[in-house]
Structure 1
Amino acid sequence: MNELIRMILGLAVQVGPYFAVFAVFGYIARVRDKKDKEREEEQKKGIINSHYVIKTETVLAIIFVVGTIFCVFCLVMAIKMQEDAFVVCVFGFFFLVGVVGTVNMIMWKLEVNGDEITWRSTFGRKRTFKFEDITYCERKKSAIRVYINGKKLFTIDSGIDDSEFMEDIKRRKIPVKSHYVIQLKKKRMKEQEMKKKRIKQMNQMKKK
């Protein structure tokens, strides 16, 4: 019996993470396709939603909770059966990730009502502002960072459907910048500053 449990734990360590990733991304893709089709129908009819909520899909949060419970079970069994420290650490790591991820999925929310936006952070902190307060948005891969008065306020992760919010951003002509372009510009500015400093130092040495 113990050997069977050890075998199950070993398979969970090796295959579990890959299975979880494929399941989550597959679900996200199906949900997005469904919402895109619904949105296309609304656009054809000239319907523009002025009130909507952006948050993690409930089913996705449930998957995370179930995965976290499974990790707890495996962690307890690994400790009880005195498994290698590596196995215990792996399940302990996934348990912590599961707890943090579950709290984030349940708490994080963005609600848009006309021009007013209410954002709730992972830790329950709320802030209300308007679209006109947004300085710009920054796109990094599939995630969107929103900046207020030049400072980052929050990030819409890649696993969350932000299409309605980005349509509002586009309608209001709020700039959407690329993270990599911004970093490249900063790098060039830094290089130019270093070049100016070197030239200044050389000129000072020549005067001496």
Structure 2
Amino acid sequence: MSNKTYFDSIGRAVSTPVNVDGNFYANIYLGGGVPVFKRLFKIDYNLSVSHNNNVGFVNNEKNITQNTSISPGLYFEKDFGDIAEARIGGDYDYNIPKQTISLQTNQPYYSYSLEASFRLKLFERLVVEAEGRYVDNGNRANGYNINYTIVNAAVKYSFLKAKNLIVGVDANDILNQNISNQRFVTSNRIVDTKTQIIRQYFLLRLTYKFTSQKPKAGGEEEEYD
């Protein structure tokens, strides 16, 4: 199923569904994690390659729209037991669109992100977390080659003997730059969009973990969260 679209002299469009052959989508994904240097740290990797093919009609002319996307990613992780953990890496996404009736839409575009995060436990009860993500977009329309940085942080402290009462403060999008930037290639048009999503906020949280102790065989007790 596809669409048959007609544009009149003033740009109005009328679309009707039509049965066609040739629409398909394919995707290959590879990913995993490997400890290196005697488990000094861990490398996480991923690679996604996808291709879609869509057949439609514009003003009664057959139009084949294709897009190939190549998206590799690489991350490094270090775990210091229950005390701390850190992660750093990035992703890259390269898109190659192609149409048969509009050469102007055959413009590759890309985006990449660099990320880092850490978690640190202090004094048995205090936990500090933070993460940052830088995103860059390229080969878009003027005003849409956007780069921005998202920074989030959290501080948590555990109370009571069982450490099951947790008071925390979350800070989301500290730099107030949270933007969604996307490109759509349809028919004979290229559409770039940008939207500011969940804005900056600060949240105070109070969490209580209920536990129950049930005796095991042999008289031992087990704790459940």
Higher gyration radius (CA): 2
The alignment's TM-score, normalised by the length of structure 2, stands at 0.27
The alignment's TM-score, normalised by the length of structure 1, stands at 0.28
Higher share in strand? 2
Greater relative CO (CA pairs within 8 A, separation 6+): 1
